[in-house]
Structures are given as C-alpha cells and as structure tokens.
Amino acid sequence: MKPKLYMSRRIPQIAIDNLREVFQVKLNPFERPATREELLQEVKDVDALVCQLVDNVDKEVIDAASNLKVISSYSVGYNNIDVDYATSRGIAVCNTAGVLTESTADLTWALIMATCRRITESEAYLRAGNFVAWEPLLMLGMDVYNKTLGILGMGRIGQAVAKRALGFGMKLIYHSRDINPKDLPFAATQVTLETLLRESDILTLHVPLTSQTRHLIGKDQLAMMKPTAVLINTARGAIVDEPQLIKALAEKRIFGAGFDVYEQEPFIPKELLALNNVVLLPHIGSATIATRTNMGIMAAQNAIAIISGLQPPSQINVLP
C-alpha cells in the first residue's frame, strides 16, 4: 500500500505525476486555497503534506496529522509552518530554496523600473485618453542609472538583484547578517541599517519574515529615507509596517514604492490601492512557467526523499 499525501492546492502536473508514482495523492479539488476545516480533516491519516504559503500549518494541524512524516512547502518561505513543533514531532519540513531566485530577482527589477519611471501610472493615464501631446513635465520619474541601490538581506535573491544592478552602473550598499563583502562576486559596501536607509536611492527588501524582521521598516525607518527614495518589497509583506508606509506615500515623504507582497495578504487596504505612487502586484515573484514547474518538481522530490529515507534537496530542520 502506497503512503498517503494531501496536496492543499494543485501544482504543475509533472510534479503531481511524480508524486503519484510513490504516494496515494489526494488533491484539493477547488480553485481556491483549502479552508482551515478542510486542511484539518484531510491531514488526519496522511504521511505527507504538500502545502502552500497560505496554509497555516500550526500545532493544531500537526497534531491532527498523527502519521505525518514530511511537510513539503511549495515555496521558499516557511513562516506559515511551526517548524519547531514539527521538529519536536520528528516531522521533516522542506522548501523549494534556490529554485525561484532568478525569477524573483527579475520581478524585483521590474518593480524598480516600473516604480522609478511611473510605468503603470503612465499607462493608466494613456488608456484613459489623457495623452494628447508630448509634455516637458509629464510623468517625471527617478533615474536608475548611476544611483545607489540598497539591499536589505544579501542572500541568494539579494545577490541576484545586485548582479543585475551592475549593468546600470549602480553603487551597491547592503545590510545583512553574516555576509562579508569579500565573499561577494561583486563590489558592495556593508553598512548599518541606518546608513542603508539614509543613503539608498532605491531600497529593496530580501530578508525572511521572523520575529526580528516583522515591521523592521516602520515609521522611524521610513523617516530616515530620502524624499526621492523608492522602496521595493518582494520578500514578505509584514516586514513593512503597512499603515506607516501608506502615510509616508500619501504625504510624499518617499517618492514611491513597488510591492509584490502585503501584510495581511491577500487583503490590501483601500488606502494603499488609492495611491498612484505605488506599483502593486499580486504576489507573482516566482510566476514563470519554468520556475513554478521547477518548484513543483522540488516539492515532490522533497516529499519522496523523506518518505524513502533519503536526503531531500532542501530540508529546513534537523531532526533529532
């Protein structure tokens, strides 16, 4: 008898096919996230769970899954999983680290360009029939070339974003734990968080969401930024204090912002939606065909490896 697996949302078919070679796979049949009640019910007798970032895999869910051996998340982030409790129960927790680095870096740059040059605002202006002639002061934005790019978190994605900045002749500064400038394949200056905030023309966030990084960018930090600065977030929404961001944007205390993630996702405050100096995307950082397919393959490989007693491609926790 094959072990059982529950998948809380359909992922690319190749990953499902790979899993079916090893598991009895049950899929959430709906084109929406599994509800809390569905998740608690479906994990009761499974050996493996393939979950999404929107699934709160907490103590209650883990306790409901008495046979669970592996939680394989279809994501890099895992702040939605109680990793410590899973570890105490001898359950492996895996993610898709490394697979979505380049596509997320590309999307970060799309937001940088769109925000600095007011691309979405300009397109809306044109589509509304307002473009009647070239104007010398129409939609003036911020240059990117030769500016200072500040990177908060110089991990895989932060470094991929930095490499793309080289073609724009940018000065690179960063604030990150345990990343020595000598270990980077490009020239970048390590600075304090305060210096990063004060000197960045464009500040992009690439840290995980933890108790230490929640609201790391708040009222005081936004006040340190240049009035011409742009803030980009493709990491996690709660790294930024959203109400304080809205105030800073509304009062033009920073030039603009580009966000792919939100504090209470998928809810986005109407006050944020009403602003024209922010570019808002629906969490599509990894949304390319190749990347989402590779994420699915790795999520499947992780679950299969654990159930087969092998080392998975990407395991977060160390089991006792």
Q: Are residues 88 and 106 in the same domain?
A: no
For the chain, what is the domain count? 2
| Mean pLDDT of all residues belonging to the chain | 97
State pLDDT tens for residues 276-290: 999 999 999 999 999
CB neighbours of 117 closer than 8 A, spacing ≥ 6?
141, 142, 144
How many CB atoms are closer than 10 A to CB 256?
Answer: 25
pLDDT at 178 over 90: no
Choice among 42, 236, 242, 292 that is catalytic: 236
Q: Are residues 268 and 180 in the same domain?
A: yes
State pLDDT tens for residues 250-279: 999 999 999 999 999 999 999 999 999 999
Asked whether residue 244 is assigned to any structural domain, the reply reads: yes
Asked whether residue 313 is assigned to any structural domain, the reply reads: no
pLDDT for 193 equals 98
pLDDT cut 90: percent of the chain above it? 98
Backbone angles phi, psi at 278, to 5 degrees: -140, 135
CATH number, residue 119: 3.40.50.720
For the whole model, what pTM was predicted?
0.92
Q: Are residues 165 and 178 in the same domain?
A: yes
How many CB atoms are closer than 10 A to CB 297?
Answer: 18
Asked whether residue 314 is assigned to any structural domain, the reply reads: no
Confidence band of 177 (pLDDT split at 50, 70, 90): confident
Q: How distant, in Å, are the alpha carbons of 34, 37, 73 from that of 50?
A: 12, 17, 6
Give the domain extent around 72: 4-99+289-307
Q: Is 236 a catalytic residue?
A: yes
Average pLDDT over residues 32-38: 96
Q: Are residues 302 and 272 in the same domain?
A: no
Q: Are residues 22 and 107 in the same domain?
A: no
Q: Are residues 37 and 132 in the same domain?
A: no
Q: Is 265 a catalytic residue?
A: yes
Nearest CA to 205 out of 182, 226, 180, 176 is that of 176
